[in-house]
């Protein structure tokens, strides 16, 4: 159990580190994500070929995965766009509004009853983002793009949840990211026209960080998460995932001194967001405790 918990928290830490890599990689958000997905897809394909593992799934299911993969690709573009337009801390704070969008989308797409408590906690997070947006004009564009990123992440998660039992996670990721790679390849010429970049070829430093992003923060992080789920409950996993933005913001403060450039409104806003996370964690603990007593 101890080893499983260590794996779980390493995977959460690696997920938080993706925001830091968005600053370290000097490519625009579209190019960065295209390379991330391309390296991941090629690596997974080679891995499956070496292990002679079948990746065959029904055509209809493959099309579903391809379409869902476009959402995660667009989410990543918006996520890194938010970071590059503001900073890591702002990007991760905006990402915390995913809970609000999930609470709204699940009843529509999964025919699940609307959870008013989850909606209220999501609105509390949104109020925190509004405080930052209203009082700190420097980051308003980054915040808007970050909220779009959170909406796409919620939509991806809800749709993915409906498909997760139908295929092995690694195979599912291969098909989804292939779909993401196709859509980004089609969109890149138009994106380059409206947001021109001096170079689309990564430097050696960029390439090194891209490999870290693709291998460690995508493939390895997912594998560690899956391994940990063999021992720990989904409840423990969800509780631990709340620490992802906390890890990322702490790393941004240490590595980039971002705390020097943030106004008091940021801390008031983050305070409300942390409060919503704490209340959600407390709610999960109470529900889990009640289930174990039954």
pLDDT in tens, 110-141: 766 777 777 787 788 788 888 877 767 788 89
144/159 Cα distance (integer angstroms): 23
Sign of CA dihedral 283, 286, 291, 294: negative
| pLDDT surpassing 70 at residue 246 | yes
Radius of gyration of the chain, Cα coordinates, nearest whole angstrom: 19
Residue 287: phi, psi to the nearest 5?
A: -65, -40
Report the pLDDT value the prediction gives residue 261, as an integer from 0 to 100.
Answer: 77
Average pLDDT over residues 139-153: 92
45 touches 174 (CB < 8 A): yes
Torsion of CA 127, 129, 131, 134, to 10 degrees: -120
Q: What percent of the chain has pLDDT over 70?
A: 89
12 touches 240 (CB < 8 A): yes
114/70 Cα distance (integer angstroms): 27
In this prediction the pTM is: 0.86
Range of the domain at 118: 2-293
22 touches 70 (CB < 8 A): no
Average pLDDT over residues 95-102: 81
How many C-beta atoms lie closer than 10 Å to residue 262's C-beta?
Answer: 21
| pLDDT surpassing 60 at residue 198 | yes
Domain count, the chain: 1
| pLDDT surpassing 60 at residue 271 | yes
Per-residue confidence at 47, pLDDT binned at 50, 70, 90? very high
Which residue is listed with tokens 């891995």? 47
């Amino acid at each position: 159990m101890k080893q499983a918990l260590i794996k779980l928290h390493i995977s959460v830490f690696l997920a938080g580190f993706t925001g830091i890599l968005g600053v370290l990689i000097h490519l625009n958000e579209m190019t960065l994500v295209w390379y991330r997905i391309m390296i991941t897809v090629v690596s997974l394909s080679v891995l499956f070929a070496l292990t002679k593992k079948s990746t065959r799934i029904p055509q209809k299911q493959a099309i579903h995965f391809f379409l869902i993969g476009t959402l995660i690709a667009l989410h990543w573009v918006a996520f890194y766009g938010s970071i590059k337009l503001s900073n890591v801390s702002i990007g991760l704070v905006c990402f915390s509004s995913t809970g609000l969008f999930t609470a709204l989308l699940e009843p529509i797409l999964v025919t699940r009853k609307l959870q008013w408590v989850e909606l209220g906690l999501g609105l509390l997070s949104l109020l925190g983002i509004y405080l930052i947006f209203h009082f700190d004009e420097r980051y308003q564009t980054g915040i808007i793009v970050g909220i779009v990123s959170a909406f796409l992440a919620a939509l991806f998660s809800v749709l993915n949840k409906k498909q997760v039992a139908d295929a092995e996670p690694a195979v599912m990721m291969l098909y989804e990211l292939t779909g993401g790679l196709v859509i980004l390849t089609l969109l890149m010429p138009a994106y380059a026209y409206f947001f021109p970049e001096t170079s689309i070829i990564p430097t050696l430093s960029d390439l090194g960080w891209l490999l870290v992003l693709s291998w460690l923060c995508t493939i390895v992080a997912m594998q560690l998460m899956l391994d940990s789920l063999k021992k720990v409950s989904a409840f423990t996993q969800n509780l631990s995932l709340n620490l992802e933005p906390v890890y990322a913001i702490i790393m941004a403060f240490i590595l980039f001194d971002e705390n020097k450039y943030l106004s008091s409104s940021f801390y008031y806003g983050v305070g409300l967001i942390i409060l919503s996370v704490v209340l959600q964690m407390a709610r999960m603990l109470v529900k889990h405790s009640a289930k174990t007593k039954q």
